[in-house]
Amino acid sequence: MNKFYLLKSIPLVIIASFLFALILGIVILWPRFQDLKVLNKEVKELKVQLQSQETYFTNLASIKTQFKEYELELSKIDSALPDDPSLASFFNFLQKACSQSGLVLKGISPFISSFPENYPQLQETQLGIEVSGPYPAFKNFLSTLEKSARLIEIENISFSAPQEGSIFNFSLRIKVTSY
């Protein structure tokens, strides 16, 4: 009878072992499966992010090559708005422009620096200069300032009649913009 009972219980033991293994597998493997799904989702998100970064850097490289085509124009803009708003270099420029035009730089009044409200990254410096010389030389000086790559704005010009000869005294109020 024992043998018969054992043969009868083998399918039950097999089914019970199978169910136990199945439950144990689900209990142990199901969280791992969920973790795997989460990791796969993160990998897909990272791939999308990596692809967007590759696209971004490709666009940056394209823009860089476009900027190289306009390097001369950009250097002119860079010299128009110098990084170093050094007044010494600007005074040197004024001295050279005056002497090349045939004027004498008589004096420079104190300067005032400010930051415009609508463009706080720019710095505006206002100063007055006094020059003397003939009128054609003054026209050449104004032309030199106008053709300069720097952002120079002449706000006010006044002059006095020559006392003798053709030598005028000119007073200018100038505004220079830098960043």
Which residue ranges make up each domain of the chain? 1-69, 81-178
pLDDT score at 113: 78
Angle between helices 71-80 and 2-69 (to 10 degrees): 70
> 132, 104 in Cβ contact below 8 A?
yes
Across 73-106, b (16+ Cβ under 10 Å) vs e yields eeeeeeeebbeebebeebeebbeebbeebebebe
Alpha-carbon distance of 31 to 37, in angstroms, equals: 10
Alpha-carbon distance of 69 to 150, in angstroms, equals: 22
pLDDT tens digit at each of 179 positions of the chain: 556 666 677 778 888 888 888 888 888 888 888 899 999 999 999 999 999 999 999 999 998 888 888 887 777 666 655 555 567 777 888 888 888 988 998 888 888 778 877 777 777 888 899 998 888 899 999 888 888 777 788 888 888 877 777 788 899 998 887 77
pLDDT score at 120: 76
The domain 81-178 belongs to what CATH superfamily? Ribosomal protein S6/Translation elongation factor EF1B (3.30.70.60)
